[in-house]
Amino acid sequence: MNNSVENKIIVITGASSGMGEAAARHLASMGATVVLGARRIDRIEKLVSEIKENGGEALALATDVTNKDDVKNLVDTAINTYGRIDVLINNAGVMPLSMFESIKVDEWDQMIDVNIKGVLYGIAAALPHMIEQKAGHIINTASVAAHLIFPASSVYSATKFAVRALTDGLRQEVTSHNIRTTLISPGAVNTELLDHISDKDVQSANQEYVGEVGIPASSYADMVAFAIGQPENVDVNEIIFRPTAQAL
């Protein structure tokens, strides 16, 4: 297995916008083959065309991470097409922030389904192959909200705390299989994430803040490339990064 990004087979969920898209573009430009999953197939197919026009290799598959068969199909297609999976980036996520008193139970369900169960389905799909390969790397996108809670973030924070917990448990269990795990916790990054907040007051407060301090999605791509690019016996377990101007 290579110790650098080049020639690695990297599966990325949530690759149709924001940080997943930026990571796909960056890793492909570094010579990785990227296998992209998201529901908006038109967006990831367009990204695949762009990557191929620039001399890279990529594949897109319509994937809803709340459907375990979709996630298994994404990983299995990577294996069947390219022979192995070096890295899985469980990046798909949603953040419809709201106060408890709004009782947005459907959005609570959605956050649990995408942010927690989606990550678990990714692990379920990739881990058996990585154990067999005796190598692999699972990167889970958490958030600074995996480390703190603020009003309207409770359920989102709970899902990201869960991702943080399960990533460290996974790390402890898979060291003997030569599998690396990395938890990446971004602060405010300019993406489409806030578009889906249905509470307009919460949305505008967050848009104002992220608009003021937010950093580009390329910052995430750089973090992912750093973690993947380490020698095989070095595991970057956790990265927290924020805009310099972000206090929270």
Token digits for 185? Answer: 């916790």
92 interacts with ligand NDP by CB under 6 A: yes
Q: For residues 74 and 127, which CB has a smaller minimum distance to ligand NDP in the complex?
A: 74
Closest approach, Cβ 239 to ligand NDP, in A, equals: 12
CA gap 204, 222 in Å, rounded: 28
Q: Nearest Cα to 183, choosing from 138, 132, 228?
A: 138
- Let me know if 156 is a catalytic residue: yes
Closest approach, Cβ 187 to ligand NDP, in A, equals: 6
Would you give the binding string for ligand NDP spanning residues 24-43, x where CB under 6 A is met? --------------xxx---
CA gap 78, 10 in Å, rounded: 8
Would you give the binding string for ligand NDP spanning residues 111-150, x where CB under 6 A is met? ---x--------------------------x-x-------
Q: For residues 85 and 94, which CB has a smaller minimum distance to ligand NDP in the complex?
A: 94
Tell me which DSSP letter residue 136 carries: E
Q: What is the maximum alpha-carbon separation in the chain?
A: 51
Strands across the sheet with 136-141, in order?
57-62, 33-38, 9-13, 87-90, 136-141, 179-186, 238-241
Token digits for 120? Answer: 């678990």
Closest approach, Cβ 232 to ligand NDP, in A, equals: 26
Binding site for ligand NDP (CB under 6 A): 13-20, 38-40, 63-66, 91-95, 114, 141, 143, 186, 188-189, 191-193
